[in-house]
Amino acid sequence: MGSWPMSASSANRIRARFKLNYSGFELDVDLDLAGRGITALFGPSGSGKTSCLRAIAGLERSTPGVMAYVAVNEEVWQDDAKGVSVPVHQRALGYVFQDANLFTHLSVAQNLAYGLTRVPAAQRRVSLDRAVALLGIGHLMDRQPGTLSGGERQRVAIARALATSPRILLMDEPLAALDAQRKAEILPYLEQLHHELDIPVLYVSHALDEVARLADHLVLLEAGRVVASGPTAELMTRLDLSLAHGDTAGAVIHANISSHEPVYHLSVADFAGGRLCVPQQTMAVGQPLRIRVQARDVSLTLEPQTGTSILNILPVTVVALSNDSPGQVMVRLDAGGTPLLARITQKSVASLGLVAGRTVYAQVKGVAILGP
């Protein structure tokens, strides 16, 4: 394999090719990812997610004889074909681990100042003040790490990584060690970073709820190989992938707030496939909203129903059907270009005469709001 040719599109791409051999395990990947937004590396434990991050960071070296290549938005960090190998400490990256790894003998302010030492003042693109504001940690500056909650420690760790003005942020299961309350506390800050900073993020997780809420793009890894790569909403509803099966299967809808109904504590969100009533939101009309619709919460009918408690009824087209579990079928639907899933019984499929191309109505019994 030779070096990757550069092109006009390379300015907004992350490219990584390497092969790593371990005892009883081989990681062999060839990635071409968007150079903006959040890309999740998702898969079961042992699938190679962390090894991917470490190889991109330069902490793991490719198997001899394999022409490894790593480039982030035109910055080539490794090109074995040309003898290029940028040392780890010279790669403009921020790395956030599952454990915050703060210096326990230093205050929060001193931990953050340490992150600045890697970057000359003239090269700093993210000010420390902005990082502190984005992570909401201004009131913690004089505290010692031992007095912080798990969520607070991770927010400090992320701010320290941002203080290095990275070209890319690598996050290795940053929420895995947190309980549900602390996880819910930190997720809005991750969303804030997503919307306000033009820094690509590679986010390792085996938690589908995090991926659905945060990721624009998704790389599905199994046994050291890339099974699929693409937009999160598309991959989560592909019937040939494991993501679209089982009790956690669902779709992600990108909508915009169109109105509020405060008397009913509801908001209305519009997307290409129609309109959804959702629990009341605080954002203004016109703001984006990411919604997750579980396959188990979608029923199908041949005609739009009246006299029902279900508020969300959408016209959809059957795209494909696949067996899900004994007696259960997963149906992939198209709602104005947005994919949805419905998990129904084989008997319902037969009684409704469902086949690809048939127009039906999806009744959405409940929606989970994932965030803006």
Per-residue pLDDT tens digits for 2-34: 444 444 345 689 999 999 988 888 999 999 999
Percent of the chain with pLDDT over 90: 66
Residue 43 predicted with pLDDT over 50: yes
Q: Rounded to whole angstroms, what are the CA distances from 179 to 192, 361, 369?
A: 21, 38, 20
Amino acid 23: pLDDT: 81
The answer to whether residue 371 scores a pLDDT higher than 50 is: yes
pLDDT at 121: 63
**End of a domain among 244, 275, 290?**
244
pLDDT confidence of residue 122:
62
Q: Of 215, 244, 273, which residue constitutes the final position of a domain?
A: 244
66 and 39 in one domain? yes
Question: Are residue 211 and residue 285 in the same domain, yes or no?
Answer: no
Handedness of CA 229, 230, 232, 234 (dihedral sign): negative
- Dihedral angle over CA of 187, 189, 193, 194, nearest 10: 30
Residue 361, pLDDT above cutoff 50: yes
At 8 the pLDDT is 38
CATH number, position 354: 2.40.50.100
Is the same domain home to 107 and 211?
yes
Overall average pLDDT of the 221-233 stretch: 95
Beta bridge partners of 69: 17, 79
Instruction: Give domain status of residue 158, yes or no.
Output: yes
Q: What pLDDT shows up at residue 197? A: 82
Which helix (H) or strand (E) is 362 found in, with range? strand 359-364
Identify whether 295 is part of a domain: yes
Residues composing the chain: 372
Residue 232 lies in a domain: yes
Q: Could you report the per-residue pLDDT of 140-161, keeping only the tens digit for each?
A: 999 999 999 999 999 999 998 8
- What's the mean pLDDT in 221-236? 95
226 assigned to some structural domain: yes
- pTM comes to 0.89
Are 67 and 208 members of one domain?
A: yes
What are the pLDDT digits (tens) for 302-313?
999 889 999 999
What range defines the domain where residue 123 resides? 8-244
Predicted confidence (pLDDT) at residue 167 exceeds the cutoff of 50: yes
Domain presence at residue 203: yes
- Which burial class, exposed, middle or buried, applies to 13 when counting CB atoms under 10 A from its CB (0-12, 13-18, 19+)? buried
Position 4 scores a pLDDT of 43
All residues at 6 or more sequence positions from 326 whose CB lies less than 8 Å from its CB, including other chains? none
- Specify if 220 maps to a domain: yes
pLDDT at 2: 45
For residue range 251-267, list pLDDT tens digits in order: 999 999 999 999 999 99
- 208 and 255 part of one domain: no
> Are 190 and 234 found together in one domain?
yes
Per-residue pLDDT band at 123 (split at 50, 70, 90): low
Quote the number of domains for the chain: 2
Look at 117 and 19; give whichever has higher pLDDT: 19
Q: Are residues 173 and 319 in the same domain?
A: no
**Domain presence at residue 3:** no
Q: Is residue 88 part of a domain?
A: yes
The string of pLDDT tens digits covering residues 60-115 is: 888 887 889 999 988 999 999 999 999 998 898 999 998 888 999 999 999 998 86
Question: Domain check: are 255 and 238 in the same one?
Answer: no
Span 186-195, mean pLDDT? Answer: 87
Domain boundary among the residues 244, 266, 288 is at 244
Q: What is the pLDDT of residue 9?
A: 47
Residue pair 372/195 in contact (Cβ under 8 Å)? The answer is yes
User: How far apart are the C-alpha atoms of 181 and 353, rounded to whole Å?
Assistant: 45
CA dihedral 297, 302, 306, 310 (to 10 degrees): 10
Mean pLDDT of the chain: 90
Q: Is the pLDDT of residue 321 over 50?
A: yes
Looking at the fold, whether 226 and 367 belong to one and the same domain comes out as no
Give mean pLDDT, residues 345-369: 93
Q: Does 222 share its domain with 278?
A: no
